[in-house]
Chains A and B, each alone.
Chain A
Amino acid sequence: MAQRVQDKKPKRNKTAQAWMDENVAEQKIRHRAIVKEMEELEPKRKKWIRDFLKTIQTRGFNVDGDLLRKIPKAEIPKEPKRKHRVVW
């Protein structure tokens, strides 16, 4: 395989590794805070989902661009028993 500039990058030095370690650790904390914040949004989200499922039966579901299809009630999905997650 031919080499690219990226392959010539010298080994990460101590300063860069320290920068990585610090920011990876902070990102972990940030991610946890986002997960918590999004879990707290679940009551509002439940209502948004109800509204959405109603809208796609009345105004319609955007199939492609502005093409709308009214979804029959029989096709509306049921909420599964598992915990609803939006951040992964």
Chain B
Amino acid sequence: MARPHIEPYVELDAPFKKFDLNGFKGSHYKVLSLDTDTGACTLKVRFDGGFKRKAGMSYSDMEFFVLNGGVKVGNEVWGEGHYAFVPAGQHLGAMSVPKGAEALVMFNDSEPSFVESDRNHQLALTESFNSFNAYNDAPWGPGNLVSPSVATGVGIKILHYDVLTQAITFLYYMSPEFQQNNISYHDCAEESYHIWGASWMMQFGDLPTGGYFWRPPYIDHGAFKCKLGCIAVGRTDSKLHNYFHFNPWANPDENKMRAAAHLYRQRPQLYEWAASDGHNHPHGPPDFEHQHYHDDAQVRHLHNHAPVGVKEGTQKAPKKKSRR
């Protein structure tokens, strides 16, 4: 995965650009973050009234969150707050936008792609398709999903959860006068877009409405404050663990070492095994529960392995290199 650290980026003043790729002609976009190898990206897309496209599919998993307006997709109407996870190859009905809409559109595997089709691709993992209104049809839960957890005053709605990688997409809020006096980092990349409201972090200052970040693993963020409340879309690319500390000057290498030291102390057998045997399993060790996880596109994406059947160098496939 090679998206650079984009934080903070406030997109509201940046101009939209004409979206001239197949399936998007007639819409406009801004790149929030882009994987320079694979083309995986998060975009803000503006569909003007009158936008239409035929039914079809993408070669990448796609996530779609409607910020405002409404989009007709097949028989469904996706209004403000609608979230959809559309697995690669999943057929989506014809799209039309009667009065205009803006959406976050995430392509998790490769650059935006679209082919007209009236059916699912035969390899599509359609069981992961999900489409619902996140504002109306999902409950708020407390923010303490993982331990150690955030302080009281954060609420979460889970929008998507990937069983293999534990990547999650979620809606979250911070309440007015929220504060959390620690510094955090994770093993996963973390992404956020502020739909409304501002929060503050000690490294980056204020993140207002329209504020965005893509933060690679092991990068410090926090302490945290929120004066008046905010609501945002968040996402991780794998399991989120909060490593809290209070050294404002720690760098990502030191943070990663500290995470490995946790593993060494808390899961000694696993650490020893990974340190001694890891190189014998370049595509991951066997897992009797998830026997075919090696084939999973996101798992391979996380390890910078080129798609199966694509020879390195023929498709600007991701170079194999370690993640930060």
Say whether A associates with B.
yes
Measured CB to CB, the nearest residue on chain B to A19 is: B21
A12–B205 CA distance with the chains assembled, in angstroms: 39
Chain A residues near B111 (CB-CB < 8 A): 12, 16, 19-20
Q: Kindly state the separation between the CA atoms of A71 and B245 in the bound complex, as whole angstroms.
A: 11
B260 to chain A, nearest CB (A): 18
In the complex, B259 has a CB within 8 A of chain A:
no
Chain A: interface residue total (CB-CB under 8 A): 55
Interface residues of B in 234-272 (CB under 8 A from A): 244, 246-249, 251-252
The chain A residue sitting closest to B219, CB to CB, is A88
Pairwise interchain contact B295-A2, C-beta atoms closer than 8 A: yes
Give the shortest distance, in Å, between B110 (CB) and chain A (any CB).
Answer: 6
Q: How far is the CB of A46 from chain B (nearest CB, A)?
A: 10
Q: Does B168 contact A (CB under 8 A)?
A: no
Closest to B109 in A: A6
Q: Are B121 and A8 in contact (CB under 8 A)?
A: yes
Chain A stretch 47-76: residues in CB contact (< 8 A) with chain B: 48-49, 52-53, 55-56, 59-66, 68, 71, 76
Query: In the complex, which residues of chain A have a beta carbon less than 8 angstroms from the beta carbon of B296?
Result: 4
Q: Check if B60 is an interface residue, CB within 8 A of chain A.
A: yes
Q: Are B60 and A45 in contact (CB under 8 A)?
A: no
A12-B39 in contact given A30-B9, A52-B181, A56-B181 (Cβ < 8 Å)? yes
Query: In this assembly, does B125 line the interface, its C-beta being within 8 Å of a C-beta of chain A?
Result: yes
**Bound-state Cα–Cα, A9 to B297, Å:** 12
Assess whether B59 is interfacial by the CB under 8 Å rule.
yes
Q: Tell me whether B294 and A34 are in contact (CB under 8 A).
A: no
Contact with A along B203-230 (1 / 0, CB 8 A): 1110000000000100110010000000
Taking A34-B8, A87-B7 as contacts, is the C-beta distance between A5 and B151 under 8 angstroms? no
Contact A63 B244 (CB under 8 A): yes
Residues of chain A within 8 A (CB-CB) of B314 are 11
Complex Cα–Cα for A84 and B252 (A): 12
B151 and A66 within 8 A (CB): yes
On whether the beta carbons of B294 and A1 are closer than 8 Å, the reply is yes
- Inter-subunit contact A56/B34 (CB<8 Å): no
Given A30-B9, A56-B181, the answer on whether A84 and B151 have CB atoms closer than 8 Å is no
A66–B143 Cα gap in the complex (Å)? 12
Residues of A within 8 A of B315 (CB): 9, 11-12
> With the chains together, A17 CA to B125 CA distance in Å?
27
Interface centre among A44, A76, A86 (most CB of B within 10 A): A86
User: Besides A5-B88, A53-B248, 10 other CB < 8 A contacts?
Assistant: A3-B308, A9-B59, A15-B20, A19-B112, A27-B6, A27-B33, A38-B204, A48-B202, A52-B246, A77-B247
Query: Can you report 17 residue pairs joining A to B where beta carbons are below 8 Å apart?
Result: A1-B283, A4-B297, A5-B88, A5-B123, A6-B60, A7-B310, A9-B310, A16-B21, A52-B202, A52-B248, A61-B181, A66-B152, A71-B246, A77-B248, A86-B204, A86-B220, A88-B5
